[in-house]
């Protein structure tokens, strides 16, 4: 096997060169490229910046539902008929307690997500109070907030209150955006990210793969995030929740293709935290652990409205593959409370021929 193409990908990425469109397209679509050497090349870049460390994030919905936007992928959208639990904003104490639980479970970053179009001044003021409480108790821990559109002044106020990262996903390319949402534009999202950057906040922004986009759309998002110097990039895989506009048909993805997408994001954004995010269990299946070679981050405890795998399973996967986590909590301690147990077969399983 000629490994020159793979080694060239790693070399260019480590030297800071941006891959050309032909190379990007080959990564996603050339069946002659073997996945293992491709992952090995991406891991060379990942290892240079992050070693074998995995950064764990835990998110909680600070508010759920009642959203006026029609994002076709979201169970909280006004266009969704999904049967979700709707509630208003949690109390300060509830959000603080969830932060304590997240850091205690090994998270290096606690993420608070708010439904709705954007952050009003009253929400900004509320967030500033909660941020101050969390930072007072956990001064060295990272906090990320996703609260819709944020103005320049709002971003400055959140930064001054102690916020580390602002999340606002691009989700898809500018060209494809009208196919997944009609109540706001790609430019609206981009402007929020620019406001965060101008305020000195770290940017957390990624995409959702599996919404009927072309390969060119995926490449475009990866390039946009490179231009923005996004510090954190969640690569989500569409979770086809019943009642949403987008269905399983749009979300059909193979493990091979997902791993190629993660490699592409790593090569184009070599020093960014790449997170294998929502849908990893559903779409990667038995290949899930391979995502840790291009990606250096994942979510524990599920996603916005969809459950994920049990925490101990994900943490054991990290340990079994020879990785560690970025946490003051010992990895062995986190998984020791959930030791695997053998289950005995039932009578019906032992004698299946008996009706």
Distance, CA of 111 to CA of 142 (rounded, Å) = 9
Question: Is 181 annotated in the active site?
Answer: no
Question: Is 71 annotated in the active site?
Answer: yes
Q: What are the angstrom distances between the C-alpha of 103 and each of 27, 97, 142, 289?
A: 36, 10, 10, 23
Given the residues 24, 46, 55, 67, the one annotated as active site: 67
Contact 248, 278 (CB under 8 A): no
Instruction: Tokens for 16, please give them.
Output: 């800071």
- DSSP character string of 62-107: SSBS------TT-TTSTT-------B-PPPHHHHHHHHHHHHHTT-
β-sheet bridge partners, residue 202 = 165
β-sheet bridge partners, residue 171 = 207
Given the residues 109, 111, 181, 263, the one annotated as active site: 111
Question: Is 74 annotated in the active site?
Answer: yes
Distance, CA of 298 to CA of 321 (rounded, Å) = 14
Contact 66, 56 (CB under 8 A): no
Residue burial 305-326, b: 16+ Cβ < 10 Å; e: rest: bbebbebbebbbbbeeeebebb
- DSSP character string of 10-38: HHHHHTTPPPPHHHHHHHHH-TTS-HHHH
Instruction: Tokens for 130, please give them.
Output: 């909660």
Question: Is 117 annotated in the active site?
Answer: no
Given the residues 24, 26, 55, 71, the one annotated as active site: 71
Given the residues 24, 74, 109, 181, the one annotated as active site: 74
Distance, CA of 353 to CA of 51 (rounded, Å) = 52
Question: Is 204 annotated in the active site?
Answer: yes
Question: Is 223 annotated in the active site?
Answer: no
Given the residues 109, 181, 204, 263, the one annotated as active site: 204
Question: Is 67 annotated in the active site?
Answer: yes
Contact 304, 61 (CB under 8 A): yes
Positions marked catalytic: 67, 71, 74, 111, 144, 204, 275
């Amino acid at each position: 096997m000629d490994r020159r193409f793979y080694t060239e990908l790693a070399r260019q990425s480590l030297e800071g060169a941006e891959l050309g469109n032909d190379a990007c397209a080959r990564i996603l679509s050339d069946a002659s490229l073997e996945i293992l050497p491709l992952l090995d090349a991406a891991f060379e870049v990942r290892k240079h910046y992050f070693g074998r460390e995995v950064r764990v994030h835990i998110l909680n919905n600070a508010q759920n539902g009642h959203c006026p936007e029609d994002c076709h992928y979201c169970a909280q959208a006004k266009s969704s008929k999904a049967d979700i639990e709707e509630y208003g904003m949690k109390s300060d104490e509830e959000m603080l307690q969830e932060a304590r639980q997240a850091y205690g479970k090994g998270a290096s970053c606690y993420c608070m997500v708010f439904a709705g179009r954007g952050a009003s001044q009253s929400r900004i003021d509320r967030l500033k109070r909660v941020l101050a409480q969390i930072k007072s108790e956990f001064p060295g821990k990272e906090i990320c907030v996703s609260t819709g559109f944020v103005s320049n002044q709002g971003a400055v106020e959140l930064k001054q209150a102690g916020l580390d990262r602002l999340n606002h996903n691009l989700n898809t390319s500018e060209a494809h955006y009208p196919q997944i949402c009609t109540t706001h534009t790609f430019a609206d999202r981009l402007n929020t990210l620019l406001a965060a950057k101008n305020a000195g906040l770290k940017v957390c922004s990624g995409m959702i793969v599996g919404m009927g986009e072309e390969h060119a759309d995926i490449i475009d998002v990866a390039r946009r995030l490179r231009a923005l110097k996004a510090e954190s990039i969640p690569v989500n895989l569409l979770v086809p929740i019943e009642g949403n506009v987008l269905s399983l048909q749009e979300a059909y993805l193979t493990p091979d293709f997902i791993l190629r997408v993660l490699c592409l994001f790593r090569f184009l954004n070599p020093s960014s935290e790449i997170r294998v995010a929502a849908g990893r269990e559903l779409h990667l299946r038995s290949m899930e652990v391979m995502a840790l070679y291009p990606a250096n981050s994942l979510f524990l405890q599920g996603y916005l409205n969809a459950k994920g795998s049990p925490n101990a399973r994900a943490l054991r996967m990290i340990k079994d593959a020879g990785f560690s986590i970025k946490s003051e909590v010992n990895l062995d301690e986190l998984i020791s409370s959930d030791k695997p147990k053998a289950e005995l077969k039932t009578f019906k399983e032992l004698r299946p021929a008996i009706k």
